[in-house]
Amino acid sequence: MPSIERLQSYSTDRFLAYEKQVVETMKREEESRRRAQEEARAKKRRSKKKKKKK
């Protein structure tokens, strides 16, 4: 991540492009985290069903 001084030297277009890149990265990470949580819940449900069958 660039320093504050470096960001201040960016042109407006360059700064906005960098900001968009950061936001997209954060969205991808959040989606990935949510997907992992959903998969963990699904796995837990499957293991509970297997235990009930026994």
CA distances from 28 to 10, 21, 25, 33, 35 (A): 25, 11, 5, 9, 10
Parent domain of 23: 4-53
Per-residue pLDDT in tens (0 to 9) along the chain, 54 residues? 778 888 888 899 999 999 999 999 999 999 999 999 999 999 988 887 777 765
pTM: 0.65
- Measured at the CA of 43, the angle between CA 37 and CA 45, to 5 degrees, comes to 105
Q: What pLDDT sits at residue 53?
A: 67
**pLDDT of 34:** 98
- Planar angle of CA 37, 43, 29, nearest 5 degrees: 20
Question: Is 37:44 a contact under the CB 8 Å cutoff?
Answer: no
Q: How many domains does the chain have?
A: 1
